[in-house]
Amino acid sequence: MEVVIVPDSAAGGELIAEAMADLLRRKPDALLGVATGSTPLPIYQALAAKVANKAVDASRARVCQLDEYVGLPAGHPESYRSVVLREVVEPLGLDQESFMGPDGSAEDVAAACVAYDRALAEAGGVDLQLLGIGTDGHIGFNEPCSSLASRTRIKTLTQQTRVDNARFFDGDIEQVPHHVITQGIGTILEARHLVLLATGEAKADAVALAVEGPLSALVPASALQLHPHATVVVDEAAAAGLKLADYFRATYAAKPDWQGI
């Protein structure tokens, strides 16, 4: 696992966007796994700027969702499909045929989960999966004590996650669904490159446990320790709990340019 400490969220967004651009230069039809929420917005903004400036051609890129709410009506502005279309697909100039995600309004949700896992495999697998981390250490919507071998499935959100997400529903927790479809930890670990971005002091404890703590289902993000190519990008505030912060800084400063992230 590589840990990169950056000054702020804008620097983290630029670093990760450039890594995504490098991937698209090597593999124009790469499948990019995207996350939602406020944390990854600087990534999408920086990547869209590169596309607009013709620093990278994203026209053949493909995009897939990490998770989706269950039960929101089609076209709801806070369904993750709507969010990804609005924040990623449209700014990059992609068409909807390049986008894939689980069906949170399916009549048979369990079957939709299996179908999504199959679709990811048939698409050749995810080349780079973006991740955030919850204050309780969750990735995707794999809440604490999720199986480290789990596949895409329906999950019940914890009260804390619903409280955290209420800001997207006018602060009304009653509007936040209780259930979601999420890629499982086992599914996530199949991506070729995992990139987690965390910003702000509220994430410091979770980051420290995920990076330096024991591998544990209690901290689902600690599963990144198992991956051969996982990159954790954190700002100074989110890095506050890392005992090895100075080592991580020194390692990154001495890293050969050709390695990338």
The residues assigned a catalytic role are: 67, 136, 138, 143
The strands making up 99-100's β-sheet, listed across from edge to edge, are 2-6, 230-235, 193-198, 128-131, 31-34, 62-65, 99-100
Burial class of residue 42, CB neighbours in 10 A (0-12, 13-18, 19+):
buried
Q: How far is CA 180 from CA 35, 79, 185, 240, in A?
A: 14, 10, 14, 31
Strand partners, 231: 2, 195
DSSP 213: S
d(CA 165, CA 173): 8
- E-strand stretches of 59-152: 62-65, 67-69, 99-100, 128-131
Provide Rg for the chain, Cα atoms. 17
